[in-house]
Structure 1
Amino acid sequence: MPDATALAAILAGADTPIVLRGLCRHWPLTQAGLQSPAAALALLQGYSAGLPVTACYLPPETRGRVFYNADFSGFNYQGGPLPFADLCKRLLDPTLTQSGASIYMGSTEIGQYFPGIREQHQLPLDLLPGAAQALVSIWLGSKSRIAAHYDFPHNLACNLVGQRRFTLFPPEQVVNLYPGPMEFAPGGQDVSLVDFAAPDYSRFPRFSQALAAGFQVTLEPGDVLFMPSMWWHHVEALDELNLLLTHWWRDTPAYLGRPNNALLNAMLSIRHLPKAQRKAWQALFDYYIFADEPSGGAELPPAAQGLLRQPLDEATARALRSLIIQKLQR
């Protein structure tokens, strides 16, 4: 295990995925999983706080794909609270595999649900900006397929039990991945509509370009994958029992807000303007936001820069948020 300095040297500023082979192979949960699924689940139950968890049942016809139903009026799985011990029993029941059905527990924060995990399963993240406050979550289930999606935070995904295959795409491939609804999606994050197991190229012809730009990695027990912010990833849990521990964090201050809020507001106020006006706003966004080194206000004396101040401090961020709220209420 590299120390905090070595890990920061590997990951600091990284803007492409990195695989760290065997980084957490010595962890107790990884070692238990190498013995048997039953051993891993027994140890995991020992870490549990005893609270019910949210679990999803995927019937055989879904082939483990967590997705929408046929008319997009809902999802293709049944979800709800389940005592964790019952989930473990179902995961060990051989009739689950024989039927072709799947059970899946998505992102579940360990501090509340599995507080015992942290002491013996920690990465040295103290020197990575923001990572010491990472949200650490556990993912558990039988075979499953999670549609390609992106996350705003960086992620260190520790594969503890079973094999897990990631198909990764740089952010600019969004146009070739055909995202679905923004406001209604499995897990709350818009996902690609393409079924990676059986792509329909007549419906999604540009998906072949995404595949050409992407790549796959398969994680063995103990491997860790670093996924930078906004990288698209399709995830397949390949074994009868699969366990993943994720670490999500942002490397910018939380007071800057969520970028997705800006996207939603732009969809409201800019997306439906005439083309010439959209182009004019694109030029303003390029000048103030998207230039490699945004220069708006650089010619002003510091005392007069106001909202253009670089970097934006917390007081100015609060003032800007207040101004946005005022304008949205008009």
Structure 2
Amino acid sequence: MRQVEQVVDCKADNILEDIKNSAKPLILRGFASHWPLVKAGLEGAQQAAQYLLKFYNGRPVSGCLAPPEAKGRIYYNDALTGFNFNASHVPLAVVMEKLLQHVGDTQAPGMYVASTDAEQWFPDLIRENFADLQHENAIANVWIGNKTRIAAHYDFPQNIAVSAVGRRRFTLFPPEQISNLYVGPLEFAPGGQAISMVDMAQPDFAKHPRFKEALDAAFIAELEPGDALLLPSMWWHHVEALDDFNVLVTHWWRNSPAYMGKPDHALSAALLALRGLPEAQKQAWKAIFDHYIFSDSAASVDHIPEHVRAQLSVPLSEEKALQLRADLLNKLKQ
């Protein structure tokens, strides 16, 4: 696996545009080394926990507890009928107490609090631990746990992920490696997003032979406290927390207007309408999608006068987008 390129002159309060818009992953060394949260974590797990609890407003968090034999892997159960962890809504203080009890315990259960909106659960945290992404309307989320392993998955938003407390290892796969990652069910996954079913710690190449190709194309990023990873949209990433107490702060934003909708909705519609067609018809629709969607969008409509392009306008205005959305909703009801 190749190492992700490093950038050493990018700080949380001064993020260059070419960093924000990067189509390749970048390690941002020392990005948040000045954050109070990072400094508290360097003093110890107890200090980091106390610092976070100072901002916590008391709303229950969604916590996962996996047995020690899971070795930190947040995954399905053996029958794929459920998951290998118990999930519950609990006060963060309860989670923190349990995490601190197991610091140094080699047989600790896996503990994981995923994707907790900082603005809703930790008011003022992101004002003391600031990343200059207001123009992008980035959503900051806090992730807390011990030595857990999150299966490879992708997210649509662009992301700057800060390893605020503890160390993290990201294994990254370009989007085109999807066929080599053995992706599980779309609508039934531990975190709600489809995941690779390959165990990164012990890959079974007899069961998943194409995963060797994915590894050949993979990148690895090792983050120390205060480092960040620019994670481009749609890149698959396996995330491993390497310490007994760790906190990750992610910043998600999209490079297109929110009124354009979510691309996974288009995938759902395609699964419904296209996937079961005869092969010849699927190839015909592939040509249509290539023409209107995946080729040079502007060139595909150059021959049409601009005032009659309507849904084919590039870019699509908010007014046209809302009209298209309403038309689509009506058609889905038929």
The normalised TM-score by structure 2 is 0.94
CA gap of 1:243–1:313, structure 2 versus 1, over 3 A, is same
Instruction: Map 1:1-330; keep pairs closer than 5 Å.
Output: 2=10, 7-94=15-102, 97-126=105-134, 131=136, 133-330=137-334
Give the C-alpha shift of residue 94 in structure 1: 3.2
Give the C-alpha shift of residue 136 in structure 1: 0.6
CA gap of 1:79–1:154, structure 2 versus 1, over 3 A, is same
Tell me the amino acid that sits aligned with residue 152 of structure 2: A
Long gaps (5+) in structure 1 = none
Give me the identity figure in percent.
Answer: 46
Long gaps (5+) in structure 2 = 1-8
Q: Is the 8 A contact 1:3 1:124 kept in 2?
A: no
Q: Tell me the distance in 1 between the aligned counterparts of 2:245 and 2:80.
A: 29
Give the C-alpha shift of residue 71 in structure 1: 1.1
The number of residues matched between the two structures is 326
Tell me the amino acid that sits aligned with residue 258 of structure 2: A
Q: Is the 8 A contact 2:12 2:31 kept in 1?
A: no
The normalised TM-score by structure 1 is 0.95
Higher helix share: 1
Q: Tell me the distance in 1 between the aligned counterparts of 2:121 and 2:190.
A: 21
Question: Which stretch shows the higher mean deviation, 314-323 or 144-153?
Answer: 314-323
Q: Is the 8 A contact 1:288 1:295 kept in 2?
A: no
CA gap of 1:43–1:3, structure 2 versus 1, over 3 A, is closer
Give the C-alpha shift of residue 6 in structure 1: 5.3
Q: Tell me the distance in 1 between the aligned counterparts of 2:228 and 2:157.
A: 16
Q: Is the 8 A contact 1:66 1:147 kept in 2?
A: yes
Q: Is the 8 A contact 1:161 1:243 kept in 2?
A: yes
Give the C-alpha shift of residue 68 in structure 1: 0.6
Question: Which stretch shows the higher mean deviation, 46-55 or 89-98?
Answer: 89-98
Q: Is the 8 A contact 1:8 1:125 kept in 2?
A: no
Q: Which whole-Å deviations, capped at 9, do the CAs of 1:59-82 have from their partners, x for residues lacking one?
A: 011110001111111110001011
Q: Is the 8 A contact 2:170 2:222 kept in 1?
A: yes
Q: Tell me the distance in 2 between the aligned counterparts of 1:168 and 1:108.
A: 23
Q: Tell me the distance in 2 between the aligned counterparts of 1:36 and 1:240.
A: 11
Q: Aligned-residue CA RMSD in angstroms?
A: 1.6
Give the C-alpha shift of residue 253 in structure 1: 0.5
CA gap of 1:4–1:237, structure 2 versus 1, over 3 A, is closer
Q: Tell me the distance in 2 between the aligned counterparts of 1:48 and 1:164.
A: 24
Q: Tell me the distance in 1 between the aligned counterparts of 2:302 and 2:181.
A: 38
Q: Which whole-Å deviations, capped at 9, do the CAs of 1:11-40 have from their partners, x for residues lacking one?
A: 143100011101101111100111110010
Question: Which stretch shows the higher mean deviation, 253-262 or 319-328?
Answer: 319-328
Q: Is the 8 A contact 1:53 1:81 kept in 2?
A: yes
Q: Tell me the distance in 2 between the aligned counterparts of 1:5 and 1:83.
A: 31
Say which SS state the counterpart of residue 321 (structure 1) adopts. Answer: helix
Q: Tell me the distance in 1 between the aligned counterparts of 2:175 and 2:238.
A: 13
Say which SS state the counterpart of residue 105 (structure 2) adopts. Answer: helix
Q: Tell me the distance in 1 between the aligned counterparts of 2:116 and 2:27.
A: 23
Q: Which whole-Å deviations, capped at 9, do the CAs of 1:89-148 have from their partners, x for residues lacking one?
A: 101103882433121101100111111311111112245xxx2x1111000011100000
Q: Tell me the distance in 1 between the aligned counterparts of 2:60 and 2:264.
A: 31
CA gap of 1:10–1:307, structure 2 versus 1, over 3 A, is closer
Say which SS state the counterpart of residue 7 (structure 1) adopts. Answer: coil
Q: Tell me the distance in 2 between the aligned counterparts of 1:12 and 1:19.
A: 12
Tell me the amino acid that sits aligned with residue 296 of structure 1: S
Q: Which whole-Å deviations, capped at 9, do the CAs of 1:137-194 have from their partners, x for residues lacking one?
A: 0000111000000000000001111110000011000000011000011111000000
Q: Is the 8 A contact 1:23 1:223 kept in 2?
A: yes
